[in-house]
């Protein structure tokens, strides 16, 4: 019984005040117990040290049953469902080799940001649903991981960073010294159709400049992107940079006599280019009241 001291060690870990009297476990039971004990040590939901119990065959089976091993006949657990070991759809795990790559890339984000004198900030992953409805309209709820918490509040897993930034700026008010340059590397969630390279969970490098007039801020942000690509060894033969402007879009709408009250809605729809098909975008624009002639001119 040379394995018995090891068995005692793992039983102590699983049940801190377990009575150490010898229990004649069968070889099959011992193997299951050792398998489980190695896994349980990674869990954060261990029993508290104040619990007290005496070991029995049923106790050990309940703790030690590994996935994939059918329960013994007559145990009452034959119908228990197995847990899916895959992450939820649209998300992914980061084993060590992937985590090293992610940390390296995030470090490049941080280095570029600090070279350009940006300060790092962060915001809650959980935000008020109303914050995003106010920016993008009620239809945005179809693309959110949203729910009601136990206090009856409507909350979401943030789909982007900018509304959280605006909320913090309003909260701090005049105590913020302008101009400010902040950056965030934040985890975001969007419940939308997945495409190649686009999951429902993603990380976003956000750089914001507040209090700088004209196009100087935009030029500095483009410079940040170029600097990052240079550090990563990416050249102009690999990628291109496109700059969009709401002022240009507003001029196009005015040229086709589109009412000003539709401007915000049109911006939201146009922002979906690349996320949904061009035909779907055109259909939404015409549903919003934009004429077919203006839709063609907006291309």
Contacts of 180 (CB under 8 A, 6+ apart): 119, 208, 209, 210, 211
CB 247 within 8 A of CB 237: no
What backbone phi and psi angles, to 5 degrees, belong to 125?
Answer: -65, -30
CATH code of the domain in which 113 resides? 3.30.930.10
Same domain, 59 and 158: no
Identify whether 12 is part of a domain: yes
Number of Cβ atoms within 10 Å of the Cβ of 141:
15
Give the other-Cβ count within 10 Å of 201's Cβ: 16
For the entire predicted model, the pTM comes to 0.58
Query: Does 75 reside within a domain?
Result: no
Domain range for 204 is 96-239
The residue out of 64, 88, 110 marking a domain boundary is 64
One domain for residues 38 and 126 = no
Spell out the alpha helix ranges (H) of the chain: 4-14, 27-40, 57-64, 96-115, 129-136, 162-172, 216-232, 246-255, 263-270, 278-287, 292-297
Regarding whether 139 and 26 lie in a shared domain, the answer is: no
pLDDT by 10s per residue, the chain, length 299: 444 444 333 333 333 344 444 444 444 444 433 333 333 333 333 333 343 333 433 343 344 445 555 556 655 555 567 888 998 888 999 999 999 999 999 999 999 999 999 999 999 999 999 998 888 777 788 889 999 999 999 999 999 999 999 999 999 988 888 899 999 999 999 998 878 877 899 999 999 999 987 788 989 999 999 999 999 999 989 998 887 777 877 887 788 878 888 888 888 888 888 778 888 888 898 888 888 777 776 55
In a domain, 74, yes or no: no
Q: How many distinct structural domains can be found in the chain?
A: 3
């Amino acid at each position: 019984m040379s394995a018995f001291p090891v068995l005692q060690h793992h039983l102590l870990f699983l049940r801190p005040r377990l009575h150490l009297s010898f229990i004649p476990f069968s070889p099959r039971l011992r193997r299951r117990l050792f398998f489980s004990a190695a896994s349980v040590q990674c869990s954060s939901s261990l029993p508290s040290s104040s619990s007290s119990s005496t070991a029995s065959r049923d106790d050990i089976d309940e703790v030690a049953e590994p996935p994939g091993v059918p329960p013994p006949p007559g145990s009452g657990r034959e119908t228990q469902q197995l847990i899916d070991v895959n992450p939820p759809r649209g998300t992914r795990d980061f084993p060590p080799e992937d985590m090293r790559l992610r940390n390296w890339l995030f470090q490049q984000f941080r280095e570029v940001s600090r070279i350009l004198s940006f300060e790092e900030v962060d915001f809650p992953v959980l935000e008020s649903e109303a914050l995003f409805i106010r920016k993008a309209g009620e239809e945005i709820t179809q693309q959110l991981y949203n729910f009601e918490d136990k206090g009856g509040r409507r909350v979401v897993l943030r789909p982007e960073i900018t509304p959280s930034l605006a909320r913090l700026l309003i909260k701090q008010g005049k105590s913020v010294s302008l101009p400010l340059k902040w950056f965030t590397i934040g985890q975001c969630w969007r419940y939308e159709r997945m495409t190649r390279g686009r999951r429902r969970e993603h990380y976003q490098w956000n750089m914001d400049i507040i209090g700088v007039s004209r196009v100087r801020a935009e030029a500095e942000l483009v410079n940040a992107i170029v600097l990052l690509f240079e550090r990563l060894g990416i050249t102009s033969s690999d990628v291109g940079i496109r700059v969009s402007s709401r002022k240009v879009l507003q001029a196009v709408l005015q040229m086709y006599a589109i009412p000003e009250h539709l401007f915000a809605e049109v911006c939201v729809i146009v922002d979906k280019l690349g996320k949904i098909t061009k035909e779907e975008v055109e259909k939404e624009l015409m549903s919003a009241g934009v004429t077919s002639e203006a839709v063609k001119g907006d291309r």
